[in-house]
Structure 1
Amino acid sequence: MICALASAVCFGTASVFQAAATLASTPGSGSGLDAALLLRALRQWRYILGLGLDGLGFVLQIIALRSIPIYAVGAALAASLAVTAVVAARVLGVRLSRTEWGAVGVVCAGLGMLGLSSGAEGDTAGSTALRWSMLGIAVAVLLVGAVAGSLPGRSRALILGLGAGFGFGVVEVAVRLIDSADLVNPALYALLIGGGAGFLLLTSALQRGSVTTATAGMVIGETIGPALVGVVWLGDRTRGGLEWPAIAGFAVAVAGALALARFGEATAAPDEGRDSAARAVGATP
């Protein structure tokens, strides 16, 4: 659980630095899969720093996924939105309201309940059909990203973020379906395609809308579906008699993260001349 929380800190902090870098880059083609945008962002130190944090977070995520249920890891990663809000307040000068700080506390409370009630990872091996399904979802994420760039405003950021979440959710499940470097295992290719597609979609979402909106879509995509897969197909369970605290903790943590996305949006036009990166995380003037 410590590794899962540390992973959330890495991902949440990386989002702020990557958002600042992508916003400073020349606008892309409008496609959700804009490799040129990624290449331009890679020229900036802030994006490189965020990329390094993403890499560290991914390693910690894999360690957590091999030790505790997917639903616990997913809920911990949902806390990355709370981390994004807090880091944005420090790095970008965004002022958080009392409601936002309350939502951060709610996320922490939910994670505490989940940490006390979650058991060990499930011992059920995934079926061949599940492995191929993960590969199919990863390819579908690529197709969605290719057309999502034409959507308007907030819808575009939300769909791109949601697609990124599904891509990262595929990674969460695929990690549990890979026992060795088997080149004929569809889950291996699902992990590579899902992770790559998710990263590209999130990069585009960060430039084309609010960081909190994009991250909220990502939270939904990478928590609910993978949690259900873990419970139904991979045997994830809670500690004896603590099913309801686990369910409540998961729901509270995810709801708190989504509340941050909603209340993080600007309620009025930002001050003239305000830094564009601060506007991107929904700064309230």
Structure 2
Amino acid sequence: MALASSSLISFKPCLFAPFQKPRRSIVVANSAEPSSKSASPSTASASASAPASTKWSLNSWRTKKALQLPEYPDQSSVDQVLHTLETFPPIVFAGEARSLEEKLAQAAMGNAFLLQGGDCAESFKEFNANNIRDTFRVILQMGVVLMFGGQMPVIKVGRMAGQFAKPRSDPFEEKNGVKLPSYRGDNVNGDAFDAASRIPDPQRMIRAYTQSVATLNLLRAFATGGYAAMQRVNQWNLDFMERSEQGDRHLFYPLKSQIRPYLKILFLYG
């Protein structure tokens, strides 16, 4: 079971044309078939109580075929962790999810540009404020350039705060004649190539939750505390143009001269 969340940080689209097309809903088709594998008693009972229709519910995922779930040695420990997670506050809230859904609809209709960035899989060991800040900063810098070049709002989505699990094409990996379960991300097991590390541990989901909450809290503080201000992001880009090898080759100077007046108007507009 992988925790998943997205952080959304949007600039005010002051200089660009407002959305012209009427809003329409996005229909998502789910073609997965129910799993034919035997399920644990808790999973079976939850599957029986899940609705048979395609309408989403809290447990409807249990009726779908899952090919990447880890095989935990002790199902009772898994159930205990899941029960604990159910008592925790949500990582993201309904209003945030609805806001993202509305913005993604605009991107689907060609009225906005979607920018997603982050690690393939987050790591417990690399968790620190500097890494979070640097990823956030790069996404903001890219967003400004894309917003200017595309002349439309940019929806910035961070692939972070919950990206701890990863699918594998082979459930096992072999090195020097030793065959062990594949590393499925810090949310499931460890990356060290030894038998103890590769045993799926449900307690890792608790750590993934707490780290996701801390990451999103920091991102929200960055987004609303002035760090993501347009003037600041513009200065980062200008510094890059001045100091980088590409800047010395004058590849970015035309963009620099064009984008500065627009950002001044944004600053005056508020």
Give the TM-score normalised by structure 1. 0.23
Q: Give the greater-gyration-radius structure (CA).
A: 2
More strand by share: 2
More helix by share: 1
Which structure would you say has the larger RCO, counting Cα contacts within 8 Å and 6 or more residues apart?
Answer: 1
